[in-house]
């Protein structure tokens, strides 16, 4: 067979560009499947939704009798506490389990976008974070009778729902470091101390000076500052806190990507 018989192969393009509509559809399908998977998992959904809600009901509603400012402070801080969980547990535990059972290795062999996979998990985390904030806001308005304006509520959602993303990045990094069975314990060892050290349960000014010095290194501190500003408890410059959260997210994602390339 002469070489000219194969010329048609040389003229064929090596790859065909996927239409943008199909790319967008793949992202939407990943988001839909991740949201459905977690919504159907009561072991994840119930603790994530109820843990901060019960805490606010016990402490925020009780303290509301001593002043509306205390209730608004705790709404913001428990809102921050609540949105940390979907990112940490939704990413950390699932990534650790999927690494352990070989699902991530399988996904690398599939003609599917890894970015769409991560975007689906992030969309799920933001949806659950919005659910947590909705429950807390309903308790604040209808049970604690905290006077909140529509602008304050919208500001709180605008800061805290995207604020789950740094914790998604941290959860992704943690999920690359441990096996599935160890992931919940490790995340809890970071989740609860991080909340305490950031002043989510007590005003930071009431904590010892060494703890106050540690707090700015934690993403929960910066997110809580934005939340307190949203409900008019504190007035802060938003840009430094947003940049700190963005920098933390980028660094955690970079470290997680390096770890995944090395260890799978």
Q: Output the pTM of the full model.
A: 0.84
Domain membership flag for residue 176: yes
- Residues of the chain with pLDDT > 90, as a percent, come to 35
Domain membership flag for residue 16: no
pLDDT at position 42: 76
Domain membership flag for residue 6: no
| Least confident residue range of 17-26, 30-39, 190-199 | 17-26
Q: Which of 66-80, 117-131, 152-166 has the highest mean pLDDT?
A: 152-166
pLDDT at position 12: 47
pLDDT, greater one: 52 or 19: 52
Domain membership flag for residue 188: yes
Number of domains in the chain: 1
Q: How far apart, in Å, are the Cα atoms of 77 and each of 6, 39, 71, 166, 210?
A: 68, 25, 10, 17, 20
pLDDT at position 129: 93
Domain membership flag for residue 135: yes
pLDDT at position 112: 61
pLDDT at position 255: 92
Range of the structural domain that residue 85 is part of: 25-263
pLDDT at position 204: 84
Residues 133, 103: Cα–Cα separation, whole Å: 32
pLDDT at position 66: 62
**Is residue 16 scored above 70 in pLDDT?**
no
When pLDDT is cut at 50, 70 and 90, the band that residue 107 belongs to is low
Domain membership flag for residue 11: no
**Which residue in the block uniquely carries the two structure tokens 């005003």?**
203
**Residue 261: CB partners within 8 Å, gap ≥ 6?**
none
Residues 252, 169: Cα–Cα separation, whole Å: 5
* Both structure tokens of 33: 């499947």
- Compute the mean pLDDT over every residue in the chain, rounded to the nearest whole number: 83
Residues 168, 173: Cα–Cα separation, whole Å: 9
pLDDT, greater one: 159 or 121: 159
Residues 118, 257: Cα–Cα separation, whole Å: 12
Domain membership flag for residue 87: yes
């Amino acid at each position: 067979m002469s070489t000219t018989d194969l010329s048609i192969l040389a003229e064929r393009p090596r790859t065909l560009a996927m239409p943008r509509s199909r790319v967008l559809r793949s992202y939407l399908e990943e988001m839909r499947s991740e949201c459905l998977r977690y919504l159907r998992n009561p072991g994840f959904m119930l603790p994530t939704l109820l843990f901060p809600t019960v805490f606010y009901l016990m402490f925020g509603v009780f303290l509301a009798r001593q002043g509306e400012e205390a209730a608004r402070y705790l709404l913001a801080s428990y809102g921050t506490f609540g949105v940390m969980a979907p990112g940490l547990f939704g990413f950390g535990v699932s990534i650790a389990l999927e690494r352990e059972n070989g699902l991530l290795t399988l996904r690398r062999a599939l003609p599917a976008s890894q970015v769409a996979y991560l975007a689906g998990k992030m969309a799920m985390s933001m949806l659950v974070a919005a659910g947590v904030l909705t429950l807390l806001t309903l308790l604040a308005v209808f049970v604690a009778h905290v006077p909140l304006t529509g602008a304050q509520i919208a500001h709180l959602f605008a800061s805290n729902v995207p604020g789950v993303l740094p914790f998604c990045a941290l959860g992704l990094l943690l999920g690359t470091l441990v096996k599935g069975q160890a992931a919940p314990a490790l995340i809890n060892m970071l989740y609860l101390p991080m909340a305490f050290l950031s002043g989510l349960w007590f005003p930071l000014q009431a904590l010892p000076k060494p703890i106050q010095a540690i707090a700015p290194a934690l993403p929960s501190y910066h997110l809580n500052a934005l939340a307190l500003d949203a409900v008019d408890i504190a007035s802060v410059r938003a840009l430094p806190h947003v940049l700190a959260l963005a920098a933390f997210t980028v660094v955690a994602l970079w470290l997680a990507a390096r770890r995944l390339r090395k260890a799978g």
